Structure 1
């Protein structure tokens, strides 16, 4: 099966994760796709295929004769899609032989992906681009990674003449809400090192990521009729706005790039009595990361002193850490990926992840795990797209990684 056919099949499954859910996985729909993948893996001839009670999928391709002592290499992708955009009833379409210019995603709703806003479109003139209808995300993050891994696996299994070591394959739930590695069984997976196939633009190799935390700011106000409110009302909405305005304006993600960290207000709801602000806090540098969290604490203390103890309830929880410290003793695996890309005709782009990946947590769990591109762009939103040719190239990259001695 072609890689784009697999991808278009997988995106029909609704697998949005839910950060408010306490179940594992956070949404039962992820297991529905999981069952599909388990059956497909078995049909391909992948060995030891199973999905555990938490929705994690494992399988393996045995080593070729004479390469049983090679290091076991793993490939990992995640099944869920981000809750930041609708992931149900996805209607993908392929723009064949893209000739540049704007792409009309939805004529009726006047949703247009403009070439002057997304300049990377110019890299794909003459290629076939998979887009949405503008009402949902696409799901290339990370169903493209799953499609690429299984298409690569099918190729290896069909071509017995290629010599390789043992290959471990794993698919996780709930990566988008920071729980993808929570129940991953590193020992059972059995790899010496692995790669998550969960990146963006074709050629990306990433072994640095943000240190990450989530901050929930709960504000408890006092409501009273506005006609009698003088010196009595404490409007939690206004206090929430005050909290946010005390954060550095230039550390908004809209003004940062590269190694620059940020704090991002992802959700704000409330009324006069109670409001909630949800933030994510990110920085590659651990010292600056801790400073950002400390700033939240100091703002909360200041506003509690101003408006009364208990007005601000602050909950900060670390999500994951920069995997660079864990990868640097194993830089040969980054070099292996770089060489594989060059052999596959792909220009390597070594960049820090301005986000997270299961690999960051797994690296701290004893499984060094840099991240590789899927080929997609504009993840988590209506303008998400992926060129078919980029997915095809990634299948070749995975093959070159595994065939190298």
Structure 2
């Protein structure tokens, strides 16, 4: 019997515990309902409001109500604190912080589609400001991302100042303006960059008369000239004219920029292997210091890229100008070869005419070459023309 009694007691124990919990809850709620009015009156009398009641009273006071968080009428002598303007704006921005980050992302999207670097950096700065505002308007402000945003803005501001300086309007001399438009502007140099190059390299303008050497063979290669006016002949060590340089493409008398120079290049002397001679009545050039020009271009990646484009264009211009001159030299050599035996027979004249027609050598250029060799243009076209019939002073040397 005892075992059966304890077994029934054990099986009924959970229901007994549940009923005890229910009874205990009812007793506690009854006690709290009896004590709560006295506790509220006592707290109001002593002025010991809880944090929640104070917050609710301030919130209701800002909207004009004179009741605290529990609905009791505020005392006549109590202060009613109003929400400040800064707090009001911050509360409004916090409630709409998602729109701020969306606006910043729209600015980033606009920035990455810009081809102008100044506009790209400007839109990026505005987007970073939106990101900083979003991080600081969080319930718990994120100061680390906001600090990185300030650092990024400072970097962009420095680069923007450089771009703004490069785009500032400047005044150039007539010769400098001509050089800039022909040799710098088409390849991406800004006027400010060009002026910095001119000031750093100590440029100067020179005027030369016909037959005067602009740079002589054996002299140090300290300067680089750009032809502004006239024709300049390139003469090798044997005294033969290789080609001619005229204003336009290929007008640099030498290499404008060589990015593959060895590190010790400027520590050694480099004599000029050829001669540049003025072949017009007047030749005008602008000269710059080669060493300073190289260091200035190599110090800035944007200048290096633009200088590489300028060098490629200059080399292409030299090759393009050399081909017609090379044909003229070949034709001149053929004339000398034909007159080596003291006469030019009709078959040789026919071959010269075919070569002249095929390679586009004009009649005026042909007459100039014949006159340069000392022949008479009228006698040259006669059959069995003999150069020896002309004066010995004008006869060509084999």
TM-score, normalised relative to structure 1:
0.21
Which structure has more helix as a fraction of its residues?
A: 2
Which structure has more strand as a fraction of its residues?
A: 1
